[in-house]
Amino acid sequence: MPLIALTGGIASGKSTIAARLKALGAVVVDADALVREVQRAGSPVLAAIAAEFGDDVLRPDGELDRAALGARVFGDPAALARLNGIVHPAVREESARRFAAAFADDPAAVVVYDVPLLVEARVDDPWDLVVVAHAPADVRRRRLVEVRGMTEEDAAARIGAQASDDRRLAIADVVIDTGGQLSATQDQTDRLWERLRGASPLGRQPGED
């Protein structure tokens, strides 16, 4: 019943790995989806966000205006810390509930937490393994420009606002190189799955530093 944390910077290919693991049989819990859920209209979290940042971060229908909130906190570490202090505890509580439910349903399940901000929000980590999707910053910047339509400046800013590659790699038990072809990423993910299903022990392996 391993509990795996899967993380990576923006445009690192983390979602590709998560989708592959889900197809192979893992239970994937998506941290971004949990954030949206705990911030839904009428929730205590959204009320706290509005109290902290003003009602102008709400849309007319009562839902969160993510663009308005993003503009308020982007580039402002103090504001971002206040937002994280509201959101992260609620997400941790809900994620723990999802993990427990998955293992109650199937004690032998492999549960993967797809979490982009693992480094930024680490508290009492329960992980059996930390997997990091890694591609060089220039590759991720090109993906943001070519696939998501960002400007070079916006792409660089988004990457720069996240934890550094060195910080993510420092906590990795397994690094999946996502800088090359999709098939190579899938092959590495398939080998990880074999390991998670018990073909080899968990923990940092030789050559994975």
In tens, the pLDDT along 73-128 reads: 988 889 999 999 999 999 999 999 999 999 999 999 999 999 998 988 766 678 99
Domain with CATH 3.40.50.300 in the chain: 1-26+110-200
Q: Which two tokens stand for residue 98?
A: 């999802």
Alpha-carbon gap, residue 167 to 52, rounded angstroms: 30
Between 1 and 29, residue with greater pLDDT: 29
- CATH classification of 1-26+110-200, choosing from 3.40.50.300, 3.40.50.460, 1.10.443.10, 3.30.710.10? 3.40.50.300
The DSSP call for residue 163 is P
In this predicted model, what pLDDT tens digit does every residue of 26-70 receive, in sequence order?
999 999 999 999 999 999 999 999 999 999 999 999 999 999 999
At position 60, the amino acid (one-letter code) is P
Task: Single out the residue of 9, 1, 2, 5 nearest to residue 134, CA to CA.
Answer: 9
Backbone angles phi, psi at 111, to 5 degrees: -110, 125
Contact yes or no for 26/110 (Cβ under 8 A): yes
Alpha-carbon gap, residue 96 to 102, rounded angstroms: 10
Contact yes or no for 1/108 (Cβ under 8 A): yes
Contact yes or no for 132/171 (Cβ under 8 A): yes
